[in-house]
């Protein structure tokens, strides 16, 4: 199971790296073209904007896994061990419910925008807004994978602690 989890995390990270590389290459090409030839790609800014949206949602699960989202642990740290576990169980339930709700809302919003097209690329906005349910679905998977360790020990800030 750990091998599958590591492969999943590595694949998620690789997709982020490739997306960021593509976005940087397109923007770099556009800036160079603008200054060297006086011409720019009409669609480059749109691609960069939508890439940033996708990268944000696809990377949020990895950030969750690393404890990189804002966390206030003062109340939890003040509780005895049993109270900490109970609070972490409640946090997990709230997070799972919120992420599932956001998948549902994201799908609804994505379907509402199905007829709208982007300005430069003429891509259906459904594909842009699909980042929201995809990202929250990935957050559910990442949370499910780290939930047992989080429930037992709280936030871990290293790869080995999160996977180990």
Both ends of the chain: CA-CA distance in Å?
Answer: 11
Instruction: Name the token pair of 158.
Output: 């290293």
In this structure, which long-range contacts are made by residues 9-12, counting pairs with CB atoms below 8 Å and at least 24 apart in sequence? 9/62, 9/65, 9/163, 12/58, 12/59, 12/61, 12/62, 12/138, 12/142
pLDDT at 156: 52
d(CA 86, CA 92): 10
Q: How confident is the model at residue 54 (pLDDT cuts 50, 70, 90)?
A: very high
pLDDT at 159: 43
The pLDDT of residue 102 is above 50 = yes
The pLDDT of residue 73 is above 90 = no
> In this structure, what DSSP letter does residue 101 have?
H
Across the chain, what does the average pLDDT equal?
A: 91
pLDDT at 155: 61
Domain range list for the chain? 2-163
Q: How confident is the model at residue 152 (pLDDT cuts 50, 70, 90)?
A: confident
Q: How confident is the model at residue 97 (pLDDT cuts 50, 70, 90)?
A: very high
Least confident of 5-19, 71-85, 136-150: 71-85
Classified as helix, coil or strand, 115 is coil
Whether 43 and 121 have beta carbons less than 8 Å apart is answered as yes
**Number of Cβ within a 10 Å radius of residue 151:** 15
Classified as helix, coil or strand, 124 is strand
d(CA 43, CA 26): 10
């Amino acid at each position: 199971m750990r091998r599958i989890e590591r492969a999943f995390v590595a694949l998620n990270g690789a997709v982020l790296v490739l997306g960021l590389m593509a976005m940087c290459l397109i923007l770099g090409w556009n800036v160079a073209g603008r200054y060297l030839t006086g011409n720019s790609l009409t669609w480059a800014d749109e691609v960069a904007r939508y890439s940033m949206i996708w990268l944000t949602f696809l990377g949020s699960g990895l950030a969750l896994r690393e404890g990189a989202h804002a966390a206030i642990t003062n109340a939890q740290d003040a509780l005895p061990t049993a109270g900490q576990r109970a609070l972490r169980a409640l946090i997990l339930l709230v997070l799972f419910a919120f992420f599932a709700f956001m998948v549902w809302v994201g799908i609804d919003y994505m379907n509402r925008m199905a007829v709208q097209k982007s300005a430069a690329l003429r891509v259906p906005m459904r594909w842009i807004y699909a980042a929201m349910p995809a990202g929250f679905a990935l957050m559910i998977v990442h949370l499910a994978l780290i939930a047992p360790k989080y429930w037992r020990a709280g936030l871990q800030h290293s790869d080995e602690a999160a996977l180990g």
